Amino acid sequence: MRIPTRTTITLLRIYAILALILTAYLTMNSLSGSAIAGCAPGSGCDTVLNSIYSRFANLPVALPAFLTYFITLLCSFYLSPKNPPAVHRLIWAILIPIAYLILGSVIYFSYIQIFILGTLCKYCIASHILGFLTAITILGRNQSTLAIRSGMHLKDPRPTKFSPKAHFILFIIAALLFSPLPIVQAVYKQTTHELQPSFLYTEGSGADRTITYQVSPVFAVTFKVIDFPHLGNVDAPIVLTELYDYTCPNCREMATDLRMLMKEYPDKYVLVTLPVPLNANCNRLVTNTQEHAKDACDLAHLALAMWLSFPEHFPAYHEDLMAGPTPPSPQQATQLALQYIAPDQLKLALENPLIDNQIKSFVEIYAAVGGSLPTLFTGSSIIQGYPGRDEFLPLLISQTEHLEHLPLPDQNQTPPPPPQTPQNTEQNQPQPETSTTPAAPDTQNLQPTTNQQSKAMSPEEFYNYSSKYSQTPPPAAPITGCDGCPRETIMNQQKNAPAIN
């Protein structure tokens, strides 16, 4: 009969402690909304940890895992010769269902990652390995030899070794404890995206149309549609602008849906595509480049080179780069480009200095909206994240169905005074008169502006002001505090940031 040793109990505690640390880290980051080290937007761990399978109702699945390992660690300290066999039997009656519960979780979440999400999370894999080792340690050595060696079994002859029938009963208990997880995840509808209010001003039409996105009370982006990569009819009434990365899995899924939308409504939408590579070589916000994004800069350079030098081939080339679930390698992307232009033309196009300037500008927009991909500007809102195929197109159509683009505000108009509150009573001194018109468009480079030519209005002021030109009631003002709202923090930092040149 196999019996546990002190080494076995020590290993059980080591596995439980390591799993506790890992699950505690994942739980704290999930509850606080903090970034997880080494999980860049669009990476495998980002995809898995932000999927519907990473939560149980509205809680991270790492939380019940943390509690499970905590109970395991606590129980291991009761396997002491100081305790009678009856206590040992009770402890094993707790640990054995836990072992089956952990094994079931390892199998379930491994299946989810491999066959449903199609990507792996390194933190999840580490957790699965520790869980597997913990479960095998419990199931392989469930005899309390400490009690036997001390002779306590003579006082309480009931065996601490469980029969197959007892194991089956404990397995059923573990299955009943585990069953709510897949059921709740299948039924519970979790939000995998965020919706932020935004406004779009337009001036002119067709090739001369200039648009201005007011993405926050202190940040606006102005450009001509025809000057930047776009798909569809430039005269289409509704302008969509997408921030994406060719190596981002969710971006590629969204691209498929947008392609379907453009084909179904060719005269209604024009899509401006702004690549934001998730690679530290060309994105100042990325500190650790993930393996899947190692070619992100190269693909963005190739796409923008095609746009700047041969814009007539860009739509087809962009579709080639976005085809399939995985991005092409730089060599494959180069061969795709050579289907449209000659090698010497491609070499010359890649030397265009505007490529780097545009990528830097796109990164600043990415920073202003909180560093999330994919991001889609609809004109009435900003969709951050990918809701999934079943939700995305209905959401997008609902956001643009009755969209009324705002005309540029009258330069002689002044916004109404803010309401008298304790926060602004001390600021009611006369202020220098400034124009409330969004920053003038820059047709050479897409340059974000921090409204240095216009008044930096508070959220309440801006929404009151803009509602005079909207056909729908203005949205509620966003939270201006910084607790739990990293995107607003970034936007507030833009207020004091130097102008981007």
206 pLDDT more than 80: no
β-sheet bridge partners, residue 106: none
CATH architecture of 194-409+435-495: 3-Layer(aba) Sandwich (3.40)
Of residues 258 and 477, the one with the higher pLDDT is 258
- Quickly state the pLDDT bin for 334 (edges 50, 70, 90): very high
Give the chain's length. Answer: 501
> Average pLDDT of 358-370?
86
Domain boundaries, the chain: 6-187, 194-409+435-495
The answer to whether residues 251 and 281 touch, using CB atoms and an 8 Å cutoff, is no
Question: pLDDT digit string (tens) for 5-58?
Answer: 678 888 999 999 999 999 999 999 888 777 788 776 667 787 788 788 888 877
In angstroms, the CA 98 to CA 76 distance is 12
pLDDT, residue 41, reads 62
In angstroms, the CA 191 to CA 50 distance is 10
> Can you tell me which residue has the tokens 């996105």?
213
Amino acid at 425: T
The answer to whether residues 215 and 368 touch, using CB atoms and an 8 Å cutoff, is yes
Of residues 433 and 45, the one with the higher pLDDT is 45
- Quickly state the pLDDT bin for 222 (edges 50, 70, 90): confident
> How many Cα atoms are found within 13 Å in the side-chain-facing hemisphere of 251?
30
pLDDT, residue 141, reads 65
Average pLDDT score, the chain: 75
In angstroms, the CA 239 to CA 466 distance is 19
In angstroms, the CA 151 to CA 173 distance is 31
β-sheet bridge partners, residue 220: 214, 449
Question: pLDDT digit string (tens) for 120-135?
Answer: 899 999 999 999 999 9
| Fold designation for 6-187 | de novo design (two linked rop proteins) (1.20.1440)
The answer to whether residues 103 and 128 touch, using CB atoms and an 8 Å cutoff, is no
pTM for the whole thing? 0.55
369 pLDDT more than 90: no
What percentage of the chain exceeds 90 in pLDDT?
Answer: 32
